[in-house]
Structure 1
């Protein structure tokens, strides 16, 4: 994943958009929703709530696209024979986003299941005084497999981004131009948000090193609190990893074992909540992408 560090991702700068057909409310609403998302460019390493807000904003954008595609003047323009190639290109793009959103959603679901299984194992180990090492190692191996899937998705998104950057808008009438520009802007910001989501979930699985001991010990002190600066530099995935590593590193010592288990459980709960929010956001985006594709297919079949 070294080639996909947060610094290597170019966040798309959403421009302030002014569409030709401003008289229609759907056009104005689409402009407003896309311009809201331009704040996304300010976050080089977004936190969970920022990513969730981005996914929610994408839903609003694609709902506006639905409204635009329902306009008779737009449907008539797209249905014209000379624009059949354009519609086919839009359809091809829509299926790519549907596939990648589906793949990411499925992997996120697996991650949520893995987190919950580990939570259950922690509860059982505490009740029966059993070792948790095998369960944690299984979770780590599962995370490594997921990172490979996330890496594939990042490569796909980068390829789509490069293709969009190389394309140009056609010389078409104003109503159709408005729709094409909305779809183009929405595509680019979708890429940026999904890239950030994948990078968030692809944090390297931490390995115990002497240099990390001060941080690890702070995480399992009373209250399980690290310094403010350290907390700001970690997301929920990394925090859970650290707590689990502490649990394994100190498993031979009974001193503070219950507190370490509680700390790991709390951080897994935080991660479970975040992953659940991501799953809901991806599900909403997936439904919107399906609706957009159906609308384009209906227009093409007219």
Structure 2
């Protein structure tokens, strides 16, 4: 069966004259999920929402790969080079997920440890300094991963191989979201003027962290870095503890929000593995 029996996703893909005028309903569902994700990138969409939307997208892809027509189109119309490209793409995405999961875990541990320092109310400056070093290592690892990311791998278009082009766009959308997540975990470089607690507290008291979102004025991760810098720079922790209740509340909410993102990311990780397994099964049968 020719791969043109499945309709192309949009005008960016090369259309075959033999293709039917109406796309398969599942392809329409994938198109709709991709549209929603593109819209979310242009609005103040939270990372949790985006990761959840990606899971919905992969659920549609899984249904598409389960169709006999899709399996036949991939098995008969795809050569080894294209297969290797799809499998390599899924592996790259899994590696990015692993980097993000490790970064989130270590960041959440930093919030718990700093919360513990505040709760004990002792001058554990060495501990807070160690936590700041840990955050620096997280940032370094993520920046290295971001620098090594090859986005062009996910931008390829394979002529009229409709289902392959669709999977490539799903990969590209996932890649963009993972890049946003990694950048969020790393956080921006903090201005030196924000090294004092009086500056930090201005961003702690009035705000409640409802969900992690890189579009907020001062993000959850950025506030954590501000708190770590403030704790480390003080010769004593007297000033740091003057508003420790506000900071403890923030840290608890930070930890809960980061854990929520971890759970959504784990769900996406499982979906990517499932898609990879489906592709391997199709090509090995």
Q: For residues 31 and 191 of structure 1, what CA distance do their matches in structure 2 show?
A: 17
Residue deviations 1:250-302 (CA, integer Å, cap 9, x gap): 56474x65433223322222321221122112101100000000000100110
Say if 1:204 and 1:187 are closer, same or farther in 2 by CA, change over 3 A. same
Distance in 1 (CA, whole Å) between partners of 2:61 and 2:69 is: 14
> How many residue pairs align between the two structures?
265
Choose from 159, 162, 168 the match for 1:170: 159
State whether residues 103 and 185 of structure 2, in contact with CA within 8 Å, keep that contact through their aligned partners in structure 1: no
Question: Which residue of structure 2 aligns with residue 196 of structure 1?
Answer: 180
Cα deviation for residue 15 of structure 1 reads 7.4
| 1:190-240 deviation digits (Å, cap 9, x = unpaired) | 122111111112124647x4x447x842543798238xxxx9521011222
Closer/same/farther in 2, CA of residues 258 and 89 from structure 1, 3 Å limit? closer
Displacement of 1:42 in angstroms is 1.4
Aligned CA-pair RMSD: 3.1
Q: Say if 2:283 is the partner of 1:300.
A: yes
Greater percentage in helix: 1
The verdict on how the C-alpha distance between 1:232 and 1:171 changes in structure 2, with shifts beyond 3 A counting, is closer
Q: Distance in 2 between matches of 1:251 and 1:64?
A: 56
Structure 2, unaligned stretches of length 5 or more?
1-8, 208-214
1:64 to 56, 60, 65: 60
Q: Does 1:224 align with 2:213?
A: no
Q: TM-score, normalised by structure 1?
A: 0.76
**Measured at CA, do residues 223 and 152 of structure 1 come closer, stay the same or move farther in structure 2, by a change above 3 Å?**
closer
2:217 corresponds, among 210, 221, 233, to 233
SS at match of 1:233: coil
Q: After alignment, is 49-58 or 138-147 more displaced?
A: 49-58
The within-5 A match list for 1:1-302 is 22-43=22-43, 50-80=46-76, 83-124=79-120, 126=121, 130-157=122-149, 159=150, 161-165=151-155, 167-172=156-161, 177=162, 179-204=163-188, 206=190, 209=192, 211-212=193-194, 216-217=197-198, 219-220=200-201, 224-225=205-206, 232-249=216-233, 252=236, 254=238, 258-302=241-285
CA distance in 2, matches of 1:259, 1:223: 13
Question: How far apart, CA to CA, are the structure 2 residues paired with 1:257 and 1:216?
Answer: 6
Q: Is the 8 A contact 2:125 2:237 kept in 1?
A: no
Is the CA contact 1:243–1:267 (under 8 Å) kept in the aligned structure 2?
A: no
Contact 1:121 1:132 in 2 (8 A): yes
